[in-house]
Chain A
Amino acid sequence: MNRVVITGLGTVSPVGLSTASYWAALTAGQCGFGPPTIAAAERINTKIVSEVKGFVPADHFDSRQISYLDRVSQFGVVAAREAIGQSGLSFRDGLGERTAAIVGSGIGGQGTQDESFKRIYGENAARVNPLIIPRTMPNAPASQISMFFGIKGPTYAVSTACASATHSIGQAFHLVRSGAVTCAIAGGAEAQLTTGTVKAWEAMRILAPDTCRPFSRERKGMVLGEGAAILVLETLDHAAARGADILGEVVGFGMSADAGDLTAPDPDGMVRAMAAALADAALAPDAVDHVNAHGTGTTANDAAETAALHKTFGPHAARLAISSTKSMVGHALGAAGALEAVAAVMAVREGILPPTMNYLGPDPTCDLDYVPNEACRRPLRTALSNSFAFGGLNAVLAFSRFN
């Protein structure tokens, strides 16, 4: 089995359009929330979302490329370009055939679909753009990354709602570890902020009217976000042989399903996913220092996740530093797990814990250390990154500092 290291990180987020600016914002506690600027925003009640700001497609693509790319694929390709650039990899000379591209998305090209349906049903349009299908398909980000960079090995999307990116990175990790491929481009992309989608979220009545304050008393729900993040994974042997800068190591991945409620979280399913990740990494619970939590800010998730952390870690739970970076970037669904993986890798590499912002004080159901409101420095060995999706699908990654 190969050791699997990370040699590139790429990020498009509501608080920064590169990994460096994203990480600087997270450690400074900057929130990317604001009023929605999407089309027909007057039709929604939601006053606060987490949009990617200042993203100009023409800065990254020519007009012909833009016609093929929904916002979700634009985010994915731009994040991949940064990650691959940092890795220094070139996929010529056969490496592309030994490289995977696994990129998740919860709902794919939602902006394209929303616009098309508005024309068909709302405006009785006789015909629509011929590129709607390839722009909308949930595998569009994975396919576009494959085409832009010449990735010719296993390439597909994973769609597991809020866990899509975490499942994608985990699948990629196992492919590299087993030797099925030498390198992998893995992560997630989402561009869900359309009036149609936000209306649907409003109907679930779990969006916060004020802000996202995970694990805090008086938390009132989640804030919807968007973006993309991509990790470049490769075997340690390959990275070392070419003298690559190694940013961290993927050491474990665990998955489970609740087979219970459609939307309500289940601590037992979370425990089984975290335990599976620890077992996959051959890690004792007390080897973990940090958890980038799923931490959506809903009453139900944060209480269930806290209970699951207690059960998984026992007395060591009280020594974990638990951060919810959703308190700053919102919930980017199929990209969330990748944005959080980048945060976890950077935390371990730099020895800085990103804060859980907007924290007002303890809630009886959330009694652990959530790094409230201010980043702090601490030497870190290993971090977990948790994702727990609607449909009862759980995925957990373990990252270690590379030694």
Chain B
Amino acid sequence: MVDVANGVIELVSGKVRNRHGPLQMSDALETLGLESLDVLELTFAIEEKFNIEIPFNANTEFDFKTVGELVHAVEGLVAKKTASA
């Protein structure tokens, strides 16, 4: 699962617009300067990297508030996929 966390953080880092330095798990996603299309592209990139489907409709609030919550959610989806494989 370390690989999942590192993979998600790397993808999020690529979209951050307004800060430098390593991301922390406690960083709130909305403070990172992601615009609406950044969120779409990030969701797509994570789905592609881990071959998972993230349930997300842009008309509702993004369910994950922090980098850590997003990592945790992706870890859960990856584990579910592995279990069902």
A205 CB within 8 Å of chain B: yes
The yes or no answer to A221 lying at the interface (CB within 8 A) is yes
Check if A205 sits within 8 Å of B43, measured CB to CB: yes
Q: Interface residues of A, CB < 8 Å — how many?
A: 17
Contact A203 B44 (CB under 8 A): yes
Closest to A263 in B: B37
Please state if B59 and A203 are interface contacts (CB–CB under 8 Å). no
Residues in B whose Cβ lies below 8 Å from that of A219: 59
Q: Is B58 an interface residue (CB 8 A)?
A: yes
Main secondary structure of the interface of B (DSSP, over half): loop
Chain B residue at minimum C-beta to C-beta distance from A204: B40
A206 on interface, CB distance cutoff 8 Å:
yes
Contact B58 A204 (CB under 8 A): yes
> Closest CB of chain B to A324's CB: distance in Å?
15
B 8-38 binary contact with A (CB < 8 Å = 1; else 0): 0000000000000000000000000001110
Query: Who on chain A is nearest to B53 by CB?
Result: A45
Contact A264–B59 (Cβ < 8 Å): no
B84 within 8 A of A: no
CB pair B57–A220 under 8 Å, yes or no, is yes
CB pair B59–A221 under 8 Å, yes or no, is yes
When chains A and B are docked, how far (Å) is the Cα of A262 from the Cα of B56? 20
Contact residues in B for A221 (Cβ distance below 8 Å) = 57-59
Decide: A263 near B36, CB < 8 A? Known: A203-B44, A205-B43. Answer: yes
Band of interface residues on B:
10 to 19
The CA-CA distance from A76 to B28 in the complex, in Å, is: 49
Q: Shortest Cβ distance from B16 into chain A, in angstroms?
A: 18
| Chain B positions within 8 Å of A261 at CB level | 35-37
Residues facing A in B37-68 (CB within 8 A) are 37, 40, 43-44, 56-60
**Least distance between B39 CB and chain A CB atoms (Å):** 9
Alpha-carbon distance between A208 and B43 when the two chains are bound, in angstroms: 18
Q: Is the CB of B57 within 8 A of A205?
A: yes
* Residue from the list A205, A207, A220, A298 in contact with B40, Cβ < 8 A: A205
Q: In the complex, what distance in Å separates the CA atom of A203 from the CA atom of B43?
A: 9
Q: How far is the CA of A300 from the CA of B59 in the complex (A)?
A: 8
Query: By the criterion CB–CB under 8 Å, are B59 and A220 in contact?
Result: yes
Q: Does A299 contact B (CB under 8 A)?
A: yes
B61 to chain A minimum Cβ distance, whole angstroms, is 9
Cβ of A285 within 8 Å of any chain B Cβ, yes or no, is: no
> Is A209 an interface residue when CB atoms closer than 8 A count as contact?
yes
Roughly how many angstroms separate A219 CA and B40 CA in the complex, as a whole number? 19
Report yes or no: B37 in contact with A205, Cβ–Cβ below 8 A: no
> In whole angstroms, what is the CA distance A204 to B59 when docked?
10
CA distance A264 to B43 in the complex (A): 18
For A208, list chain B residues within 8 Å (CB): 59
User: In the complex the two chains form, what is the Cα distance from A219 to B35 in whole Å?
Assistant: 21
What 1/0 mask marks residues of chain A from 195 to 210 whose CB sits below 8 Å from any chain B CB?
A: 0000000011111110
Residues of A248-307 at the interface with B, using a CB-CB cut-off of 8 Å, are 261-264, 298-300
Enumerate the 4 nearest inter-chain pairs by beta-carbon distance, A residue then B residue, closest first. A205-B58, A221-B59, A299-B59, A220-B59
A residues lining the B interface (CB < 8 Å) = 203-209, 219-221, 261-264, 298-300
Residues of B that sit less than 8 Å from A by CB: 35-37, 40, 43-44, 56-60
29 A-B pairs (CB sep. < 8 Å):
A203-B40, A203-B44, A204-B40, A204-B58, A205-B40, A205-B43, A205-B56, A205-B57, A205-B58, A206-B57, A206-B58, A206-B59, A207-B57, A209-B57, A220-B57, A220-B60, A221-B57, A221-B59, A261-B36, A262-B37, A263-B36, A264-B35, A298-B58, A298-B59, A299-B58, A299-B59, A299-B60, A300-B36, A300-B59
A264-B35, A299-B58 given. 4 additional CB < 8 A pairs?
A: A205-B57, A261-B36, A264-B36, A300-B59
